[in-house]
Amino acid sequence: MNETYEQILASIKSVWHRRWYVAAIAWLICGAGWTLVASLPDKYESQARIYIDMDTMLGPLMRGLAVEMNVFQQIDLMQRTLFSRPNLEKIALLTDLDLQVSTPEQKDALLEGLKKKLAIAQQGRNLFQITYEDFDRQLTKRVVQAVLQIFVEGNLGASRKDMDTTRRFLQDQIADYEKQLVAAEERLAEFKRQNMGMMPGEHSYHDTLARATDDHQRTQAFVDEAMKVRDSLKQQLAEIPQFFTAPKEDARTMAMVGGGVAGPESDLSLRILDMERTIDGLLLRYTENHPDVVVLRKRVAEMKAQLEKETQERLAHVSENPTPNGAGDAKFPNPLYEQIKLQLVKQEAVIAALQRRTAAKKQDVDKLAGLAMTAPQIEAELQRLNRDYDIIKRGYLELRQRQESAKLARDLETKAQKIQFRIVDPPLVPAKPSGPNRPLFLSVVLAAGVASGSVFAFLLGQLNKTFPSAQSLRQAFTYPVIGGVTAISSPADRWRRMRELVSFGLVCLGLFAAYGGLVAVELLTKL
């Protein structure tokens, strides 16, 4: 701590020994700086205050129904209105500043200068101040007046233009969302068509698989039952004789009731009965004039004619060629055997048809079982499509709601006076300059001059290789310092030193006196 204190004290002594350098540099810098400050031109500032009344009765009534612009949004709108290039060009046109420029570069510089010099500040909830500063006092008033005119007359128009832009944007977005919604609906419908029966819900994949399994089992049960019937018919066929004998005089009677070659005719009779039953079923739903009924009636008539013809031929055959069997007996086919054989053939056909149906059902079950790994993917894809559709639909409905709110806000803006503008303080021609702040600049120049001289003196002291004290000598060498010699000043030296101090004090006093005089002149000028 003592060493630091000694170093500071040594530095102060070094600067003090070179105090005339400090005074000379301070006077040089202050003279040049104060001359420059004095040559700065005066600036004038014109102000105007405007009050925006937004607390009308329509505000509480329309709150929540229409889009509301708060004070901060209004401030942002005012700043955009003031500092936009078209409005700056209007200001230059209204104040004749555009006559001072002739090139695009000069025009850009002019507009940039206007933008930097214009300012808006909020002084209350709805009170705002517009300020412009320039070297021409008359110009400041004209610029502020032009800003007020553009703001009051164009603010509502800009607000409506912003609303129109918003409305067009909402319309474009709604049209885009409508296209996305239609596309999402088509994707969802197409996906459901392609994966019908695999959708979760009432007819899910598991329900479809269960129904297919039940159909397969039911068809298999029909096959088993038909096979049992077939086995029963085979057993009956094995127990019934194929032929039986009868006396020769009964041959004609047997032929008439179906003996001999009665097998085909019996089959034809059964087919006629089946068709008549089919016609009865059709008549329950249609009339006699229905095409299917007419065709079946015609077919039955043809089959009956064929049956009658074959019966006549059979009778003739039996009469001319009876089959002998021993002494006067005839051998005839057993009609019951033929009927059971015919039923057996039909049952075999039924079994074959049921087996084909069972195979098809089994393929359906195997196909659905093979989709067991695909079903979760289909369900996940359906959820994704539904999620995308819900998001698009929710965005579409929200945009439609905002569109209605924007429409109501536009009607409120155009048909009702929701916002009122009142000029509290109109702009005036400034009587006194607002700048530059010369007392501050003078003080800065004085501080800079004194600081520069002190730094210069300190640097000269650092270049000096002498030792200012015995302590610094001890620190520089390892040899012991035996003692010191004190300088004894004569009366002439003391008188000369006194005159030097007085001269230095007068120089410093003159510097501060000049500073005080300049500051006083500036303060008196502003009064």
Q: Do 30 and 104 belong together in one domain? A: no
Distance of CA 250 to the CA centre of its chain: 100
pLDDT score for 77: 64
In a domain, 212, yes or no: no
Structure tokens at 48: 């105007």
Averaged pLDDT, 418-446: 82
**What's the CA angle centered on 441, arms 440 and 442, to 5 degrees?**
90
In a domain, 70, yes or no: yes
In a domain, 92, yes or no: yes
- Considering 247-256, 399-408, 487-496, 511-520, the range whose residues carry the highest mean pLDDT is 511-520
Q: Which domain holds residue 270?
A: 243-333
Q: Do 249 and 298 belong together in one domain? A: yes
Per-residue pLDDT reduced to its tens digit, 115-138: 888 888 777 777 888 888 888 888
pTM of the model as a whole: 0.43
> 274, 301, 333: which is the final residue of a domain?
333
In a domain, 134, yes or no: yes
pLDDT score for 324: 47
The mean of the pLDDT values for the chain is 76
Decide if pLDDT at 214 tops 80: yes
In 3-state terms, what secondary structure has residue 99? helix
Q: Which of 188, 213, 183, 210 is nearest to 378 (CA)?
A: 188
Phi, psi (5° rounding) for residue 45?
A: -125, 130
In a domain, 267, yes or no: yes
> How many domains, in total, are found in the chain?
3
Kindly report the CATH number assigned to the domain that includes residue 148.
Answer: 3.30.1890
**Cα–Cα distance, 315 to 320 (Å, whole number):** 9
Q: Do 35 and 48 belong together in one domain? A: no
Averaged pLDDT, 192-202: 62
Decide if pLDDT at 57 tops 50: no
Q: Do 29 and 111 belong together in one domain? A: no
Per-residue pLDDT reduced to its tens digit, 469-492: 666 666 666 777 676 667 676 788
Poorest-pLDDT segment among 55-64, 106-115, 186-195, 505-514: 55-64
Q: Do 291 and 329 belong together in one domain? A: yes
Q: Residue 28: pLDDT band by 50, 70, 90 thresholds?
A: very high
In a domain, 94, yes or no: yes
Q: Do 461 and 499 belong together in one domain? A: yes
Q: What percent of the chain clears pLDDT 70, i.e. is strictly above it?
A: 69
> 309, 333, 357: which is the final residue of a domain?
333
**Side-chain half-sphere exposure of 448, counting CA atoms within 13 A:** 13
Q: Do 73 and 164 belong together in one domain? A: yes
Q: Do 35 and 50 belong together in one domain? A: no
Averaged pLDDT, 257-272: 56
pLDDT score for 337: 75
Decide if pLDDT at 378 tops 60: yes
Q: Do 145 and 250 belong together in one domain? A: no
**Cα–Cα distance, 276 to 271 (Å, whole number):** 9
Residue with the larger pLDDT of the pair 329 and 432: 432
Residue with the larger pLDDT of the pair 340 and 244: 340
Q: Residue 149: pLDDT band by 50, 70, 90 thresholds?
A: confident
Averaged pLDDT, 14-35: 87
In a domain, 99, yes or no: yes
Decide if pLDDT at 76 tops 50: yes
In a domain, 200, yes or no: no
pLDDT score for 472: 67
Q: Do 146 and 64 belong together in one domain? A: yes
Angle formed by the axes of helices 85-94 and 137-194, nearest 10°: 160
Q: Do 418 and 323 belong together in one domain? A: no
Averaged pLDDT, 256-279: 63
Q: Do 82 and 162 belong together in one domain? A: yes
- Considering 65-79, 237-251, 253-267, 340-354, the range whose residues carry the highest mean pLDDT is 340-354
> 307, 333, 359: which is the final residue of a domain?
333
